[in-house]
């Protein structure tokens, strides 16, 4: 029997939310053995999104104990934080694109080092390159000056 794309999307979402194969079968109408086979073949991760459900439950429980004004303020602050993180992500992505274009024009090894350090810091901001150590990176003062000048030029280019 052929199943629709929507049925498979729902099955995968339920699987990754942590439901059992039998529960998924009841909800989407696809035999549990067929779901199991496809999940293994496509490397679905059982319960990979269960944390979303836990987070939503925690929020619901907290809202039950708060006044409407408090909830409104907390939602406002959460929305501001989300917005700021999106802005940081977007600016960092633009900076990396600019760095990529500048790499072709580099003649000075110090400039290359500065760009590599900026790209490394951007990768940390984007969560692409998480550090496993709590060590801080020590940057020489002349490199810091080059980095500041590079960022200044970048922001001037972006604003124009």
Alpha carbon distance 64, 54 (integer Å): 15
Alpha carbon distance 130, 21 (integer Å): 34
Taking a C-beta distance cutoff of 8 angstroms, is the pair 71, 63 a contact?
yes
pLDDT at 142: 46
Confidence band for 42, pLDDT divided at 50, 70 and 90: very high
pLDDT at 132: 52
pLDDT at 74: 92
The conformational region for residue 45 under phi > 0 = left, psi -120 to 50 = alpha, else beta, is: beta
Does residue 50 surpass a pLDDT of 60?
A: yes
Which residue ranges make up each domain of the chain? 5-50, 83-159
Which residue is associated with the tokens 């004004």? 69
pLDDT at 156: 57
pLDDT, one tens digit per residue, over 95-139 is: 778 877 777 777 777 777 777 787 777 777 777 666 654 444 444
The verdict on pTM exceeding 0.85 is no
Alpha carbon distance 32, 19 (integer Å): 11
Encoding tokens for residue 74? 């907390």
Name the DSSP class of 151. H
Q: What percent of the chain has pLDDT over 90?
A: 46
């Amino acid at each position: 029997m052929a199943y629709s794309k929507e049925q498979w999307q729902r099955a995968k979402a339920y699987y990754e939310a942590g439901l059992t194969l039998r529960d998924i079968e009841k909800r989407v109408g696809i035999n549990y053995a067929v779901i199991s086979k496809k999940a293994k073949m496509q490397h679905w991760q059982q319960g990979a999104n269960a944390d979303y459900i836990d987070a939503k439950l925690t929020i619901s429980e907290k809202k039950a104990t708060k006044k409407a004004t408090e909830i409104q303020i907390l939602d406002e602050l959460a929305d501001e934080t989300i917005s700021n993180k999106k802005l940081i992500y977007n600016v960092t992505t633009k900076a990396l694109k600019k760095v990529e274009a500048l790499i072709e024009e580099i003649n000075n090894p110090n400039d290359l080092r500065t760009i590599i350090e900026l790209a490394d810091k951007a990768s940390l901001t984007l969560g692409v390159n998480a550090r496993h150590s709590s060590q801080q990176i020590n940057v020489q003062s002349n490199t810091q000056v080059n980095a500041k000048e590079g960022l200044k030029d970048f922001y001037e280019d972006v604003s124009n």
